[in-house]
Amino acid sequence: MDSKNIIDSISAIYEKFHIPPILQSHMLRSAGLGWLISKEFDGNLTNINDIVATLLIHDLGNIAKIDFDSKFNRKLYGDNIGYWMKTKDMIVSTYGKNDHQATLIMAKELGVSDRVYFLLENITFEKTDFILELDDWDLKICAYADYRVAPFGIVSLKERIDDIKRRYKGKDTNPFNEPRTELLTKYTFEIEKEIFAQLSISPSDINNESVEQHIKKHLLFNYKPSVKHEQKVA
């Protein structure tokens, strides 16, 4: 499946892997952000569709790590938490309990290109030093787009990092358990500086309003969100 097909088939992909609506929104916003940056970019981008496709599926396996005992997630998933707990069990039994590895297995199942698989494989916080060092703008943009999207929308890089530290504090799935956390956090800001040195816009121009425009204009032609089991957030 090439990147254009992923973009055109994203509703079916989300349905296939039982992706919660809140997670669909995260990936759509990430993809919209990636599209916005890519269109403003002065550097050499291999294929914007690869960036968008990668971001649309970069967290397919995310439910495998969700802690449904946490107060935050109980509020987030609301009345349908029982359904999503069963969905998590199904995903873990099929693809494993490591969310990133589950995403990669799902990507292989979809038959994504080698390029999209490479981008998916490497946009983790633990590889921020590799992302910074590598001369690959597609990878930097994919990683940065994910850095900027919190559960309920787009936030600053600092707000996103603070949010992750707060929500995953004390958990094995906390990416900031990485011994090099402070150094890697510093590198995320360096990646931001590198990207915006190529742009005529600033990080503050990346917000919910500007990204929503790109999502509606470029990504939603064939997207139909599933509302059958939509979370009810108080």
- Look at residue 93 and tell me if it is in a domain: yes
- Look at residue 233 and tell me if it is in a domain: no
- State the number of CA atoms in the 13 A half-sphere of 61 facing the CB: 21
- Look at residue 101 and tell me if it is in a domain: yes
pLDDT on residue 230: 47
Backbone angles phi, psi at 149, to 5 degrees: -110, 110
Please list the ranges in the chain whose pLDDT falls under 70: 167-179, 217-234
- Look at residue 229 and tell me if it is in a domain: no
- Look at residue 226 and tell me if it is in a domain: no
3-state secondary structure of 184: helix
Are 143 and 131 in contact, with CB atoms under 8 Å apart?
yes
Rounded to whole angstroms, how far apart are CA atoms 59 and 178?
20
Backbone angles phi, psi at 191, to 5 degrees: -65, -40
The string of DSSP codes covering 24-52 is HHHHHHHHHHHHHHHHH--S--S-HHHHH
pLDDT on residue 124: 92
CATH of the domain at 54: 1.10.3210
- Look at residue 212 and tell me if it is in a domain: yes
Domain that holds residue 89: 3-219
Task: Return the bridge partners of 150, or none.
Answer: 153
pLDDT on residue 82: 92
Are 63 and 83 in contact, with CB atoms under 8 Å apart?
no
Backbone angles phi, psi at 7, to 5 degrees: -60, -45
pLDDT on residue 227: 45
- Look at residue 129 and tell me if it is in a domain: yes
Number of domains into which the chain is organized: 1
- Look at residue 208 and tell me if it is in a domain: yes
